[in-house]
Structure formats: structure tokens, C-alpha cells
Amino acid sequence: MSVLIEVDRLTKSFGPFIAVDDISFSLKRGEVLGFLGPNGAGKTTTMRMITGFLSPTKGNISVCGHDVSEYPIEIKEKIGYVPEGAPLYGEMTVMNFLKFIANIRKIPKNKINDSIHNVIKKLGLELVLYQQVETLSKGYKRRVGLSQAIIHDPDVLILDEPTDGLDPNQKHEVRKLIKEMASTKAIIISTHILEEVDAVCTRAMIIAKGRMIVDKSPKDLLIGSPEGASLDDVFRTLTIGNPGDNL
């Protein structure tokens, strides 16, 4: 299995505030990494650095063998990214939006229609193709956000809270989709829903206050905890420490 993402001693500070503190990991094809952590832990900042939206204060990132700061365009071609909240151009129709992304992603002319139809089918967008994005429900918006991230069949997929705000059925659909794609890609998803990690991830990484605390498989997370402890308990213990300390 080839290593697709290599993060080496990554640090990001905003003024005196250290958002990401010395995080290192690597991710191979076929792995699904779940970023777990409380809000403000540094998950989004880390993802923004991997996708080249922010530049690191210190440390290196390489994606598919290219250094992110040296080859920003090349690595962006390899990545599909759903930013936090899945921002979209509201005034466009779904179809025009997908065409725009396909053109920017330099999908060859003879394949554009196939790629677009492929994601439309995968995400069930048939009924809303000619509606303006801003008129869609939250679930549809999120699906449009996902469709732009996978339209070019990227090697690396980075999803910032992809199921946030979706109803249980929609969550299930998105997780199914991630699982279907998992074997051919390296995927990072961030979430604070622990069952999601259990459901789709092969690895779980807990981040708190910018530091990586744990990097294990979801099952191993429970090992060493008291009998009958849930992932929630483990999460709370790891991110707050002894609950008494913070009160």
C-alpha cells in the first residue's frame, strides 16, 4: 500500500495562539482516518493546511509524493475537499456548478458528461439538477458539496464534518458512500460524532488543544479502559483528562 499523505511535525500558530502543535502522521491508500476532538481542537486547521488553503508555520506536508508548499496546484488536483459547512456558490444551479468544477478540474471534454452523471447518480441529485443551490435543503447542499469533491475521482479525500447537520438517513447514506470509496483512496474525515468513527474509520486520531493524543484503530481505543466504557467515555477522559480537573 502506498503512502498518500505524509504530515511531518506540523505546527500552526495564529499570533500567540497555537492551533496545531507538532502533529505527525502518514496515511496509506485504503485507510480512512477519523479526526476526533472537541471544537477548536485544530482539526479544521490541520485539514486546511493539507489542502493548501493555509500554509503551516512549521513542518512539512506531502500529498502523493509532492510537497504541498512547493507544488500547490499539483496536489490540489489530487485532493477532493469538502470544507467545513460545505460552502457553495448559491446562485448557480447544481448542473452548472458541477460543470464549472469539472472544467476547473480539467476533466477531458469527452469525459465530462460521464463524470458528472456518475456523481449525480452516486449522490442522488437527479431531482435537483436545475435548481439553484441556495434553494436546496441542507441535506442536498451537503450532497452537492460531496459531489464536487469526488467528481475527479481523487486519490485523497478530505471531508470536514461531512455529516454535520444531516438527518440519520442522510448520515447513513454518506457513510455508505465513504465506505464504498475507501479501498481506492486515502480519506480523512473530521467529526465529533464518535459512532461515525466506529462506523467508517480504520484509524482514529484524537486531537485536543492542537496536540495529537491518540492514534489507534477505533477498537483499540477501548482497550485499557474500564469494563463497559463507551467511546464517549474514552473521548471525555482523553480530551478533558480527569473530569474533576476542569470543574
The residues that touch other proteins, with contacts defined as CB under 8 A, are 14, 48, 51-55, 72-74, 76-77, 79, 81, 83-85, 87-92, 96, 100-101, 103-106, 132, 148
| Alpha carbons 47 and 67: distance in angstroms, whole number | 15
Quote the least distance from Cβ 94 to other proteins, whole Å: 13
Q: Which is nearer to other proteins, 104 or 180 (CB)?
A: 104
The strand order across the sheet containing 66-67 reads 17-28, 3-14, 58-63, 66-67
Quote the least distance from Cβ 68 to other proteins, whole Å: 11
Quote the least distance from Cβ 22 to other proteins, whole Å: 19
Quote the least distance from Cβ 160 to other proteins, whole Å: 9
Residues 10 and 205: beta-carbon distance below 8 Å = no
Q: Which is nearer to other proteins, 100 or 126 (CB)?
A: 100
Residues 174 and 146: beta-carbon distance below 8 Å = yes
Quote the least distance from Cβ 15 to other proteins, whole Å: 9
Distance of CA 212 to the CA centre of its chain: 17
Quote the least distance from Cβ 137 to other proteins, whole Å: 18
